[in-house]
């Protein structure tokens, strides 16, 4: 499995100027378009079947939103309480301000145990910190054990979806990949056989890995419990077989009470994959106790900030942290469906990625992302915790093009897309539309000189005929009718 | 949902707010909307100083410029009459976003909230307030309905427009694939991300055409232009009509009530 390490590459932060090129490339890839359309249609139908009663859904997500808002309103307290209860349970808690700190902590723990191999359950936060790269640099193999993550790692790629990392890959592509990269694997297009091949490799790795890594879906402050939602059982293997279990999560995942988990869990699985419940739900509360026959000897939790406190500090943008990572917003996003996850160049793609990436990576690198939306509201409609994504996109568009509002601290990369030209354009626009007489004169001229309509109008005429004013404005038609002409 | 309750008595007068796109690009749709209201015996007032609701600046993150324009528009409706807008997205801005735009200024916020209460998208007003009852005089036809995203999610227009069309026995409404999906217009989005926007518009045009309908109907000028001009560029004769124009033509010979 050395190929895995060779292929583990650092996340390329894509300059904002390249985002458009990536999207243009992606939409012209008919194969990619078809596979995302098909996959998203499937997921949308599965989800819809779980929420036949709209009023019931609204009530459920109202509760879930309330739980998340309440948890965030007490975030500092709950995090301290979580640290106390976890520590009392024998779980070691670590704090990381950024990706480098988180990775250094994890490498440090692995080195202490002279580890050569880490098996990983699915963790988007570890994607965010580029943990695999840091582990490879430290000479420690980090192997993804979620089947989708395993596939993208084998191919040296990033996940293209937060729940289904390999959704962009076809069966045939995976068959070729396995035959080429997995030692001893024969070419097969049978999905069962392909999974069997992966499972055989992973089974052996679970037995030999010194460290198991996982994410966390919900961290319960009152009881000191780490909840982990998964379907493949690999999460349970990672958290029980190796001697050391390290969990990593963002600071926003904490809830106060155990009873706050079921409403969120129920909405998470139904929104994500259309499942009423996942195959596995793990609740981890302590390392192996004397007399117990299995479980890790050591359990660690790494709590990562990495820009989350910037969102937390703003009353409106705090809603970004309500996210429970179901991925429904991307499944329903017409833009994500057209361009796929990789075009975003971020750990989290789609609508949630557009509103969280600016906090994680700064607006200088990400200011184009919030513009990649028609504000259609499909994400808003399905979000199980009612994050007002379109409003947050508009807010970030403003922050990217302006100095901070009075009384607000600047965001990282504040004003990165400021442009004198755009300032002039919008000032001119406002001057025209606040002066009715001037506006009517403009309408009069635009209709009289409609023959001067330029045949090429920037991006509009790439696939459309030009915008051409009518022969008379409605203002004139109404005036003419009133005067009886 | 039943905003019509605020006007339990039929209003005798209304303000008509056309929107900048209708004013400059689809004025016939505006005239047809006015006719639909007038034929119900309601007097239509057209504030001459109307320009734009402010949406382009608002959605681009230029809130100050949007506020300046919104402020001038809010002064155009002094009487307590309903404000009728033949566009879901502009109606959505006035009803849902003006109060947010003035959130930091209590007197203006109150004014925006009071105005929001009076704002109706055209089809909602015809259906729930005027409670129109129509006689279809047109020949049998099949159309398909595209509802703009704001109209659907902020104004419920997909249901109102469908209910209006259902009053016309000779009109069969076919349902397109991915009916609720955005057409890719998104105002400045279509200029900032032309390749994504074109892909979406192309898919929407395909889905509408595949229904086999004679035309598609939309209550939003923006979507209609986006899809129509995509079809025109392809040399396709299949086109969309504004809901107001389509309804007007269907009712042409059914006798004036006014």
Across chain A, mean pLDDT equals 95
Structure tokens at A191: 């999905």
For chain B, which ranges sit under pLDDT 70?
Answer: 1-6, 255-258
pLDDT at B9: 80
B121 and B166 part of one domain: no
Query: What Cα–Cα distance (Å) separates residue A442 from each residue in A32, A438, A450, B90?
Result: 44, 6, 12, 21
DSSP string, A236-299: HHHHHSSSEEEEEEEGGGEES-GGGHHHHHHHHHHHHTS-SS-SEEEEE--SPPTT--SS-SEE
Q: How many whole angstroms separate alpha carbon B94 and alpha carbon B119?
A: 7
* Range list of H helices, B167-215: 189-192, 194-209
Which of B64, B200, B233 minimises the CB distance to A338?
B200
Confidence of residue A13 (pLDDT cuts 50, 70, 90): low
Query: pLDDT, tens digit, for every residue of A325-371?
Result: 999 999 999 999 999 999 999 999 999 999 999 999 999 999 999 99
Q: Is A286 on the interface with B (CB under 8 A)?
A: no
**Domain membership flag for residue B135:** no
Residues 6+ apart with CB under 8 A from A441: none
Confidence of residue A2 (pLDDT cuts 50, 70, 90): very low
B100 and B171 part of one domain: no
Q: Is B185 on the interface with A (CB under 8 A)?
A: yes
Query: pLDDT, tens digit, for every residue of A14-47?
Result: 665 688 888 988 999 998 899 999 999 999 999 9
Residue A321 has pLDDT above 60, yes or no: yes
Stronger pLDDT, A474 or B156, i.e. the higher one = A474
Structure tokens at B36: 């639909």
pLDDT at A7: 39
Q: Which of B74, B63, B45, B88 is nearest to B182 (CA)?
A: B88
CATH no. for residue B17? 3.40.50
In this prediction, the answer to ipTM > 0.85 reads yes
Residue A1 has pLDDT above 70, yes or no: no
Interface test with A, best of B44, B48, B62, B221 (most A CBs within 10 A): B62
What is the end-to-end Cα distance of chain A in Å, rounded? 84
Q: Is the CB of residue B181 less than 8 Å from the CB of residue B158?
A: no
Question: Which helix or strand (DSSP H or E) is residue A361 part of?
Answer: helix A350-361
Interface test with B, best of A351, A390, A411, A463 (most B CBs within 10 A): A463
Domain end point (choices B129, B155, B176): B129
Q: Which of B121, B111, B112 is nearest to B88 (CA)?
A: B121
Domain end point (choices B129, B164, B193): B129
| A 434-473 residues inside an 8 A Cβ radius of B | 434, 436, 439-440, 443, 446-447, 458-470, 472-473
Q: How many whole angstroms separate alpha carbon B144 and alpha carbon A170?
A: 34
Chain B residue with minimal CA distance to A423? B62
pLDDT at B204: 98
Q: Is B192 on the interface with A (CB under 8 A)?
A: yes
Give me the domain span that covers residue B86.
Answer: 3-129
B105 and B193 part of one domain: no
Query: What Cα–Cα distance (Å) separates residue A406 from each residue in A392, A409, B67?
Result: 18, 8, 16
B17 and B55 part of one domain: yes
Query: What Cα–Cα distance (Å) separates residue A324 from each residue in A263, A337, A344?
Result: 12, 21, 20
**Domain membership flag for residue B185:** yes
pLDDT at A12: 54
pLDDT at B257: 45
pLDDT at A334: 98
Strands of B215-218's sheet, edge to edge? B171-174, B141-146, B215-218, B240-242
Strands of B119-121's sheet, edge to edge? B43-45, B13-16, B83-85, B119-121
Q: Which domains are delineated in chain A?
A: 2-309 (3.40.50.10420), 421-482 (no CATH)
CATH no. for residue B168? 3.40.50.11810
pLDDT at A448: 97
Q: What mean pLDDT is predicted for residues A65-89?
A: 98
Number of domains composing chain B: 2
Domain end point (choices B129, B155, B190): B129
Q: Is A419 on the interface with B (CB under 8 A)?
A: no
B75 and B152 part of one domain: no
Query: pLDDT, tens digit, for every residue of A244-260?
Result: 999 999 999 999 999 99
Residue with tokens 């009663």, as numbered in its chain: A53
pLDDT at B6: 67
Query: pLDDT, tens digit, for every residue of A280-303?
Result: 999 999 999 999 999 999 999 999
Helix, strand counts (H, E) of chain B: 14, 8
**Domain membership flag for residue B256:** no
Q: How many whole angstroms separate alpha carbon B56 and alpha carbon B65?
A: 10
Under an 8 A CB cutoff, do B57 and A429 touch?
Answer: yes
């Amino acid at each position: 499995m050395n190929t895995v390490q060779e292929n583990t590459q650092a996340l390329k932060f894509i300059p904002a100027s390249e985002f458009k090129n990536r999207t243009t490339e992606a939409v012209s890839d008919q194969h990619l378009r078809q596979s995302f359309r098909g996959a998203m249609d499937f997921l949308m139908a599965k989800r819809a079947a779980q929420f036949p009663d709209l009023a019931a859904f609204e009530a459920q997500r109202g509760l879930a939103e309330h739980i998340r808002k309440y948890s965030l309103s007490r975030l500092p307290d709950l995090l301290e309480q979580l640290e106390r209860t976890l520590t009392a349970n024998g779980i070691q808690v670590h704090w990381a301000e950024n990706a480098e700190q988180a990775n250094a902590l994890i490498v440090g723990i692995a080195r202490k145990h002279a580890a050569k191999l880490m098996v990983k359950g699915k963790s988007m936060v570890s994607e965010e910190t580029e943990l695999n790269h840091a582990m490879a640099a430290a000479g420690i193999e980090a192997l993804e054990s979620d089947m989708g993550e395993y596939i993208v790692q084998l191919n040296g790629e990033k996940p293209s979806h937060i729940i289904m990392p390999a959704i962009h890959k076809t069966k045939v592509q995976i068959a070729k990949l396995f035959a080429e990269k997995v030692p001893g694997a024969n070419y097969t297009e049978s999905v069962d056989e392909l999974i069997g091949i992966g499972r055989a490799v992973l089974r052996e790795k679970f037995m030999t890995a010194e460290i198991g890594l996982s994410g966390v879906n919900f961290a319960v402050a009152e009881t000191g419990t780490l909840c982990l939602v998964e379907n493949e059982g690999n999460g349970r293997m990672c958290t029980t077989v190796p001697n050391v279990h390290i969990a990593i999560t963002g600071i926003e995942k904490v809830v106060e009470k155990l009873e706050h988990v079921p409403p969120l869990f129920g909405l998470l699985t139904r929104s994500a994959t259309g499942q009423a419940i996942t195959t596995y739900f793990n609740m981890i509360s302590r390392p192996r106790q004397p007399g117990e026959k299995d479980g890790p000897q050591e359990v660690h939790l790494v709590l990562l900030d990495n820009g989350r406190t910037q969102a937390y500090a703003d009353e409106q943008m705090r809603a970004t942290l309500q996210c429970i990572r179901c991925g429904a917003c991307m499944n329903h996003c017409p833009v994500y469906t057209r361009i796929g996850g990789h075009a975003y160049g971020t750990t989290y793609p789609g609508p949630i990625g557009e509103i969280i990436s600016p906090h994680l990576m700064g607006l200088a690198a990400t200011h184009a992302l919030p513009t990649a939306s028609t504000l259609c509201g499909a994400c808003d409609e399905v979000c199980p915790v009612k994050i007002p994504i379109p409003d947050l996109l508009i807010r970030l568009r403003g922050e990217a093009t302006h100095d901070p509002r009075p009384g607000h601290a600047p965001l990282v990369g504040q004003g990165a897309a400021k442009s004198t030209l755009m300032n002039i354009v919008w000032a001119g626009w406002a001057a025209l539309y606040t002066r009715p007489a001037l506006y009517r004169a403009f309408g009069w001229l635009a209709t009289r000189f409609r023959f001067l309509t330029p045949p090429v109008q920037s991006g509009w005429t790439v696939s459309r005929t030009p915008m051409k004013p009518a022969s008379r404005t409605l203002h004139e038609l109404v005036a003419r009718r009133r005067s009886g002409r | 949902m039943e905003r019509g309750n605020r006007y339990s008595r039929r209003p005798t007068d209304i303000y008509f707010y056309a929107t900048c796109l209708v004013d400059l690009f689809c004025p016939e749709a505006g005239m047809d909307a006015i006719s639909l209201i007038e034929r119900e015996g309601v007097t239509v007032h057209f504030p001459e100083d109307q320009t734009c609701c402010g949406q382009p600046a608002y959605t681009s993150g230029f809130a100050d410029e949007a506020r300046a324009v919104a402020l001038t528009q809010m002064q155009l409706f002094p009487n307590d009459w309903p404000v009728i807008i033949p566009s879901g997205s502009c109606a959505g801005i006035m009803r849902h976003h003006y109060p947010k735009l003035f959130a930091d200024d209590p007197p203006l916020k109150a004014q925006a909230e009071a105005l929001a209460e009076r704002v109706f998208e055209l089809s909602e007003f015809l259906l729930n307030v005027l409670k129109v009852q129509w006689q279809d005089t047109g020949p049998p036809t099949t159309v398909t309905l595209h509802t703009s995203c704001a109209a659907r999610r902020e104004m419920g227009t997909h249901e109102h427009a469908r209910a209006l069309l259902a009053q016309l026995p000779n009109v069969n409404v076919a349902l397109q694939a991915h009916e609720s999906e955005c057409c890719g217009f998104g105002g400045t989005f279509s200029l900032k991300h032309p390749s994504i926007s074109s892909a979406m518009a192309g898919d929407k045009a395909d889905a509408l055409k595949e229904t086999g309908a004679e035309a598609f109907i939309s209550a939003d000028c923006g979507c209609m232009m986006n899809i129509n001009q995509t079809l025109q560029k392809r040399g396709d004769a299949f086109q969309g009509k504004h809901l107001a124009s389509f309804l007007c033509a269907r009712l042409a010979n059914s006798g004036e009530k006014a």
